[in-house]
Amino acid sequence: MTRESEVRSPATDAAAALLCALVDEGVSHIVVSPGSRSQALALVAAALEGGRVGLHVRIDERVAGFTALGIGRESGMPAVVICTSGTAVANLLPAVLEAHHAGVPLILLTADRPPELRGVGANQTTRQPGLFAVGARLETDLPVPEALDEDGTGEQTIMLRRLATEAVAAALGAGARSAGPVHINMPLREPLAGAFPRWFAERTPTPAIVASTPMSTAASVDETPSGALYQGGGGIGEADQPAECGEPVRLEPGPRTVVLAGADAGAEAERIAHEGGWPLVAEIVSGARFGRHLVHGYRELLRDPALGGRIERVVVLGHPTLSREAAALLARADLEVIAVRGPGEPINLNGTTTPVDRVVVAEGSADRAWLGEWMRASQAAAVDLSPPAPDAAGLASAEPERRLGAISAELGVIRAPVDRETLVDAVWRATWPHDRLVFGSSRLVRVADRVLPGKRVPVHANRGLAGIDGTVATAVGVALASQADGRPGLTRVLLGDLAFLHDVGALLLPPDEADPRVQVIVGNDGGGTIFDDLEVARRADPEVLRRVLYTPHDVRLEQVAAAYGWEYVRVADRAALDQALTTPRPGRQLIEVPLAR
């Protein structure tokens, strides 16, 4: 009689072949949500944990998807998300859409019922192939595994290894406009798990190989029979397919030019501005807010007819989303707009934007008079949030009245309540190049964009669709990737109360996994005050506005933190905030900052 532990399962053999091959292609993080249909995949992932593979277990698939998204954002390599069939798969859609629009590599490995159970009312069964076709760079509905492969040389194993190579390449952008999500749907029959094949038990680590050879096509699901690898557009229209990489576009002197850096633009934007002698308009989430040509107070200056009104050429990198002024600039039909292709969706707001792979700046491009006008206006528009220096002479004075006045003034600075400007400034000052800073899509990121000075720190934000989904989970993923192998640094995520509550499930971390070093900083004003600056605030009935848009709440964040096992700190003044941000603490911490509406 065969013991249960000795039962062999084609599902396990296929799971082992596919996951091992993905690891050999460079995947180093696997995020698992529990489920019965996906048990073979989960058990193989657990066996791979350690060495080159980090395993992260999340009970909420939406949280799992955004955790993997954060890992991909930080590392540049896709993490694999494993989940069971049914609504579990649908919960990955928000992360998939963000990965698609922001160009973040991600691999979804979803277990499914076999084809004969689809469309007949079987439990936990829907049509999973095609769910992510809007954005998938490659999507396949695998044939149901039927073979056992003891020595790892069978046809099924070879096919899955080839698929793993194609999947990682597609997630990294080969054959498509940019990096993005890949969906591998794996229908499985019982037995759903069994003993590992001999080759897997004897497996020794092999060097990671990151696929870099471009594929000829992307792939996606169409209405074709189960079990085929479908060739198609992967949600990317023909007009979006990459052009042949040719010579870089040469930017000649002449037109009055600005460089506009949106989300994920990176240091390349600063380089172009520096070499061209052009003003640099850099959003706070761009990763390019530094350098001598950085423009402060850019929103007002773009509205100024004497500056913004005289722009003739814009070089745009990344995805600008934080100001209407930048969007209006890119939509102007009278400008030459050159969009450098990046990880996300291509920019073409005026219908005549020229997409390019890269640019070089011709010698002699600098227009010193043009740059000087912008730099003088920038200096005048800069916001100085530094607290006033102590009155050293007064504090040392022998005159009691003067000394007491100086002491009182100093205490007033220390005890001043925190407002939004003070909050973003304190977080910015506390963050350094070995740290990571994640902005939520809250009012605070717009305040930060308006007032913060230049500083070269790694910044992340989900601005592909600019939703509030998954902000905490993304930050945890960023922390896991950035702190791998014992690397130093702290990940801070700055967001509003509604964005925090929208992703509160991401606070649940398994007790048997090492805690990432994370500070979640919540500016709590009791509701969605981001709507204060929108047209609806001037048009809607105040009570209706309060109820259906502000969505006020009275959640006690201290009790939320206690329920999930996070250290909690509530700060109300700048001194306490600075201390909370800069006092080293292991693990995870929730910092609540009450804000006035």
pLDDT tens column, 546-583: 777 778 889 999 999 999 999 999 999 999 999 999 98
pLDDT of residue 227: 34
| Domain 249-381 class in CATH | alpha beta
What pLDDT does residue 294 have? Answer: 98
Are domains 4-237 and 420-594 of this chain identical in fold? yes
The DSSP element (H or E) to which 594 belongs, if any, is strand 588-594
* Token pair of 470 as six digits: 């998954």
pLDDT computed for residue 210 by the predictor: 34
Q: How confident is the model at residue 4 (pLDDT cuts 50, 70, 90)?
A: low
The CA–CA distances, whole Å, from 137 to 134, 231, 235, 238, 373 equal 9, 11, 7, 13, 45
E strand residue ranges, 434-507:
436-439, 459-461, 491-496
Residue 246: per-residue pLDDT:
52
Instruction: Taking the CA atoms of 4, 9, 13 and 14 in sequence, report the sign of the dihedral they define.
Output: negative
Q: What is the mean pLDDT of residues 294-304?
A: 97
Domain boundaries, the chain: 4-237, 249-381, 420-594
Q: What is the pLDDT of residues 162-182, one digit of tens each?
A: 999 999 999 999 987 899 999
Band (pLDDT 50/70/90 cuts) for residue 219 is very low
Q: What are φ and ψ of residue 14, in 5° steps?
A: -70, -40
> CB of 138 within 8 A of CB of 163?
no
Sign of CA dihedral 283, 285, 288, 289: positive
Domain covering 420-594, topology: Rossmann fold (3.40.50)
Instruction: Quickly state the pLDDT bin for 287 (edges 50, 70, 90).
Output: very high
* 85-103 pLDDT per residue, tens: 999 999 999 999 999 999 9
Q: What is the pLDDT of residue 231?
A: 27
The answer to whether residue 411 scores a pLDDT higher than 80 is: no
Average pLDDT score over the chain: 88
Average pLDDT over residues 253-260: 94
Amino acid at 130: G
Q: What is the DSSP letter of 214?
A: P
CATH tag, 4-237: 3.40.50.970
Distance CA 324, CA 417 (A): 30
Q: Distance between CA 318 and CA 330 in Å, rounded?
A: 13
Structure tokens at 147: 């073979």
Per-residue model confidence (pLDDT) at position 234: 29
pTM score: 0.89
Residue labelled with tokens 């080159």: 52
How far apart (Å, rounded) are the C-alpha atoms in residues 321 and 335? 19
Token code pair at residue 241: 């397919």
